[in-house]
Structure 1
Amino acid sequence: MRIDIWTDVVCPFCFIGKEHLNQALESFEHADDVEVHWRAFELDPSLPAQPDSTLAEAIAKKYGASVEESAARQRQMAQLLQTYGVEFNWEDAKFGNTLDAHRLIQFAQTKGKGAELQDALMRAYLENSQNIAEHPTLLAAAKKVGLDASEAQAVLDSDDFREAVHQDEAQGAQIGIRGVPFFVFDGKFAVSGAQPKEVFDQALDQAWADSKNLLNNPEQGSSCCGGGGCCS
């Protein structure tokens, strides 16, 4: 079975959705026969490498909300992430461009390290307030998960995997993805948002049995991040 997951590394709900899927896979009797493929989705491709505003300011601008309202949402998100053992330092978070992060994740997948790098980069952003657009941050995460530093540097110094990222985004748009996380099981069953573990349990069972096709009419979950920011 193949699971394709569209995410962005600066999306808190993507981290939560990833954790719920992992929990479901732990209890899925056919887990050894599941292949996970990470697909790229940039929440805001126009973001600069060096953020010129705080996270609360950036989200407020995207939503058309006040900075105070945006900050309140980030505090709520931080409280939610604490239940997953993650301390979200949102006040210091650096909401920068994620294209190079996605390119490096594509490279990591060719080495069997996609999931590990995805997790490392998410934690670098959420817990350590690191700028995911900066190459030293990306290289540190690559080395942490066991990737060859010189190979990772070569990827970052080139345009390698840029087209693969854009192809992921184009395919996502084609099947109607408006926010992430978004999970597609064997190209037939879709789960949108950071749904509870039980939803992933059901999706795994349904995909394995090939009994119902949800891809043509996926329900847009509320726990997701999209071009307008993260909803709750």
Structure 2
Amino acid sequence: MSNKIKIDLFSDPACPWCLVGLTRFDQALKRLPDDVEVDLTHHAYLLDANTPEGGENARQMLELKYGQAPDDMWDRLEEEGKKAGLDLDMRKQEIRYPTQRAQILIAIAKEKNKQQDIALALSRANYLKAEDISDPDFLADLAGAHGFDRDEIFQLVQRDDLKAHVEKAAADASKQGVQGVPFFIFNEKYAMSGAQPDEVFDQVFQQLMSDDPMPESGQAE
């Protein structure tokens, strides 16, 4: 039986399914036995690297992208959110903000082993509180609440070189097959995409801990 699990996680705070998926994933992590060691790394993914500074109207953007109103999709998201304990109102956040700065903060959080906390906090702030997650002051305040130096974060999230690094990492992830988020890779072998139900996360962890083989496709749908 293995007590070590390596996880690479790709997500974007602009993705509402990531909020649902990361919430379920976080709950599954908390159900793991205390002696299980999880090596978790969050990686950048950008739903749209060209989202304008200041953001864009979410409804208009989705109508243009899909050719129809997003209400049915939003209703489904709200239903799935409730199952995960989220009081989700998809009409509350009217703006889709660029997330390069948020992704910089998630990357920085690795040094304190707080990527999961920061990524989840960003997603919750975006969709539950309708915050501007591209605002350096907001990001600095959020980081400060998690033990980071507020002034340092305020400067770092605005650096053009770090923005370019995030954009390259996200582009590389897409080239390597990450086409949707949330996207999970377990022990560098098995991939799973989407906001999976609780029992799927539990099953995957159980298989990894017991060293049982995962599905031959390497995919847990």
> What TM-score, normalized to structure 1?
0.81
1:18 paired residue number: 22
| Distance of 1:95 and 1:31 partners within structure 2 | 40
1:63 paired residue number: 66
Q: Which residue, 8, 26, 31 being the options, matches 2:12?
A: 8
User: Partner letter of residue 67 of structure 2?
Assistant: G
| Distance of 1:13 and 1:114 partners within structure 2 | 18
8 A Cα contact 2:140 2:151, kept in partner: no
In structure 1, runs of 5+ residues without a counterpart are 222-232
1:34 counterpart SS class: strand
User: Partner letter of residue 13 of structure 1?
Assistant: W
- Structure 1 pair 144–216 and aligned structure 2 pair: CA distance change class (3 A): same
8 A Cα contact 2:103 2:166, kept in partner: yes
> What TM-score, normalized to structure 2?
0.85
After TM superposition, give the deviation of residue 42 of structure 1 in Å. 0.5
| Distance of 1:4 and 1:177 partners within structure 2 | 11
After TM superposition, give the deviation of residue 209 of structure 1 in Å. 4.4
User: Partner letter of residue 35 of structure 1?
Assistant: D
After TM superposition, give the deviation of residue 91 of structure 1 in Å. 4.0
1:128 paired residue number: 129
8 A Cα contact 2:24 2:197, kept in partner: yes
Aligned residues: 216
8 A Cα contact 2:56 2:95, kept in partner: no
In structure 2, runs of 5+ residues without a counterpart are none
User: Partner letter of residue 63 of structure 2?
Assistant: A
**RMSD value over aligned CA atoms?**
2.4
| Distance of 2:185 and 2:88 partners within structure 1 | 29
1:97 paired residue number: 98
Query: 1:100-129, CA deviations, whole angstroms, 9 ceiling, x for partnerless residues?
Result: 110111011112221221122111111111
| Distance of 2:196 and 2:202 partners within structure 1 | 10
Counting aligned pairs with the same residue, the percent is: 28
Deviates more, 1:131-140 or 1:27-36: 27-36
- Structure 1 pair 211–120 and aligned structure 2 pair: CA distance change class (3 A): same
8 A Cα contact 2:93 2:130, kept in partner: yes
| Distance of 2:23 and 2:116 partners within structure 1 | 11
1:197 paired residue number: 198
